[in-house]
Amino acid sequence: MKQKPQQTFHDIILAVLNGNSFAIVVALIPSALLSQILKFLPQTPLVKNLEVVITLAQSALPLVAAFAVGMLLKFSMLEIGSLALATFVAAGNTVATANGFTLSGSGVILNIILTTLLGALITPVLHRVLGQLKMVFEPLLVLVIVGLIGQLTLPLMLKMQILVGKLVSGATNTQPLLMGVLLGVLFAILVVSPLSSVGIATAIGLSGVGAGAANAGIVACSFTLALIGASVNPLGVTLAHFIGSPKIQMANLLARPKIFIPTSIAAGLAGGVASLLTMHGTAFSAGFGFSGLIGPLTAWQTSPGSLLGLRVLITFVLVPVLLAFIMQFIFVKRLKLVEPAELAVAEL
């Protein structure tokens, strides 16, 4: 039998982060796209069934996370199944009642990440040690060891998640302009890094003005990268920067960090504008930017005040596009710090 490649701790960390980020997107996107639309439709049996479907999909996040992490680490089906069981019981989205259990929400993201990390470290060891007995004892031992540890860490991870969210929210309410700039820059960097902007935003519970600023920063980053590279990339790739994700430029930015300068400036300014215009968002929408129109639509649905349509248009279209042209003019045409060829992407 062919041996699995030996995984380093660095490999495991990246697999856990990327796997959980993938799960957040897969499990939560259906709800993000459909939940607001369904509110405007008559409450027919079909609409109610759709609401149940997308709610259940959110609750499957810990299972999808374990599956994704296991796949990235090239686990066997037995290892993936064992990890999924442990992650599910430690997720925190099941509540004991007098009549059994109720399933609610997607769970505590930080604890799901921690549990999949522990499982990724422990499961392969048990798989090797148990030998021919692994089919019988591996699911049990992973469930008891990893799942029990995950349940013990759940209250602490929940408190940490709430605390970080409150700190960011408090800082944003106290210094909205400054935090808008900082969050715009931070999430513009995250969205083109190996980490997930959606995963980070969801883990810390980023919402309100902070989420709106983060989204605006991502949008400005997307338009800036798309415009600078438009002359060397096909139209489909150019559009993919903001209709899809600017993460397609990750390799180019990591190889040439100087490109972070124009994107960060644009993102910071856009985040500041979003704060001034009191654009809001949710913990889930915060990491998407323009992708799927989730950022603008959520801002339109959740932001307070009048002239909302105009403010959304200014924040998520006019300002990012204007900033993109300014960044191109300064850093490409004048300073020649960035060359369009440096943003060439293989056709998708």
Q: What is the pLDDT of residues 152-208, one digit of tens each?
A: 999 998 888 788 777 877 888 789 999 999 999 999 998 888 777 877 888 788 889
pLDDT band with cut points at 50, 70 and 90 for residue 19: confident
How much is the mean pLDDT over the chain? 89
Q: What is the helix (H) or strand (E) element at residue 328, kind and residue range?
A: none
Question: For 76-80, 84-88, 108-112, 116-120, which range has the lowest pLDDT when averaged over its residues?
Answer: 108-112
**pLDDT number for residue 299:** 94
Hey, where are the domains in the chain? 9-162, 175-343
Q: Is the pLDDT of residue 1 over 60?
A: no
Q: What is the pLDDT of residues 98-112, one digit of tens each?
A: 787 888 878 888 899
Rg (CA), the chain: 22
For 29, 93, 190, 203, the CA distances from 198, given in Å and listed in that order, are 11, 19, 9, 8
From the number of C-beta atoms within 10 Å of its C-beta (0-12, 13-18, 19+), residue 42 rates as: exposed
Q: Is the pLDDT of residue 232 over 70?
A: yes
Q: Let me know: does 87 contact 112? Beta carbons within 8 Å.
A: yes
**pLDDT number for residue 4:** 62
Phi, psi at 191, each rounded to 5°: -70, -20
Three-class SS state of 42:
coil
**pLDDT number for residue 30:** 80
Rounded to whole angstroms, the Cα distance separating 243 from 222 reads 9
Structure tokens at 2: 């062919």
Rounded to whole angstroms, the Cα distance separating 317 from 296 reads 9
Average pLDDT over residues 59-67: 93
Question: For 65-74, 182-191, 283-292, 321-330, which range has the lowest pLDDT when averaged over its residues?
Answer: 283-292
Q: Is the pLDDT of residue 228 over 80?
A: yes
Task: Please report how the helices 176-190 and 208-228 are oriented relative to each other, as an axis angle in degrees rounded to 10.
Answer: 50
Q: What is the pLDDT of residues 321-344, one digit of tens each?
A: 999 999 999 999 999 999 999 999
**pLDDT number for residue 348:** 47
Instruction: Check residues 35 and 265 and name the one with the higher pLDDT.
Output: 265
